[in-house]
């Protein structure tokens, strides 16, 4: 693929590999051992990348920042009992944050369709969690477009020891079907809808934030 305005392919460089990205930092344990230290270090990296973000005339509203981490199973297990359901074992359920319209009626349309798609894809909706939020330190620009945030939990109906990625693919299909539904809908607040991630392995916190607000 020809990319205009880039240098010609030379050595290991090829213009087809160019991407428009902001700053990205990476921190992990080589043996996959989760720890608070990894999260703390990743947040420190994020703050050190503040110069890679952007803000407009509102200095407290950024163009977006977040963190990707392993699904915090132990934390969620402790909180799931408050919602009236128990979580299965690790990687036997998927979860993700869902940004929804502030309007209650339009939010219900999205939730109902989400639940319908989960059923059509032969998976099990465990429930929704109202995510605690604090917008006291974000800018007025971000507050003006602040979504209602819920967390969805989806259980794998049939376990497959031979294909653990089958559930991940199913969660991807559910997310994409939901995005397509909202995109083609006539909801006035469709632009509020977003599913940053839906996975049994990874979890994304993000928003129209500055790095140090995360």
Pairwise CA distance, residues 177 & 174, whole Å: 5
Give catalytic residues, as residue numbers. 22
Low-confidence ranges of the chain (pLDDT < 70): 1-5, 20-22, 51-57, 160-162
- Angle at which helix 104-120 crosses helix 165-184, to 10 degrees, equals 140
- The pLDDT, as a whole number, for residue 1 is 45
- The pLDDT, as a whole number, for residue 157 is 87
- The pLDDT, as a whole number, for residue 160 is 65
pTM for the whole structure? 0.82
């Amino acid at each position: 693929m020809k990319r205009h305005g880039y240098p010609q392919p030379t050595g290991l460089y090829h213009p087809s590999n160019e991407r428009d990205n902001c700053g990205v930092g990476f921190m992990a344990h080589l043996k996959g051992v989760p720890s608070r230290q990894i999260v703390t270090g990743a947040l420190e990296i994020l703050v050190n990348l503040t110069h890679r973000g952007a803000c407009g005339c509102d200095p407290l509203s950024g163009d977006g920042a977040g963190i990707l981490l392993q699904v915090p199973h132990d934390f969620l297990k402790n909180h799931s009992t408050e919602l009236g359901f128990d979580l299965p074992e690790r990687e036997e359920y998927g979860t993700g944050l869902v940004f929804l319209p502030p309007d209650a009626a339009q939010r219900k349309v999205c939730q109902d369709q989400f639940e319908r798609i989960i059923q059509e894809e032969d998976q099990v909706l465990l429930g929704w969690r109202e995510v605690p939020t604090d917008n006291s330190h974000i800018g007025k620009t971000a507050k003006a477009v602040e979504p209602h945030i819920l967390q969805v939990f989806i259980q794998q109906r049939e376990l497959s020891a031979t294909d653990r990625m089958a559930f991940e693919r199913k969660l991807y299909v559910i997310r994409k079907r939901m995005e397509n539904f909202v995109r083609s809908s006539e909801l006035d607040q469709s632009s509020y809808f977003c599913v940053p991630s839906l996975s049994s392995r990874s979890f994304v916190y993000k928003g129209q934030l500055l790095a140090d607000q995360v």
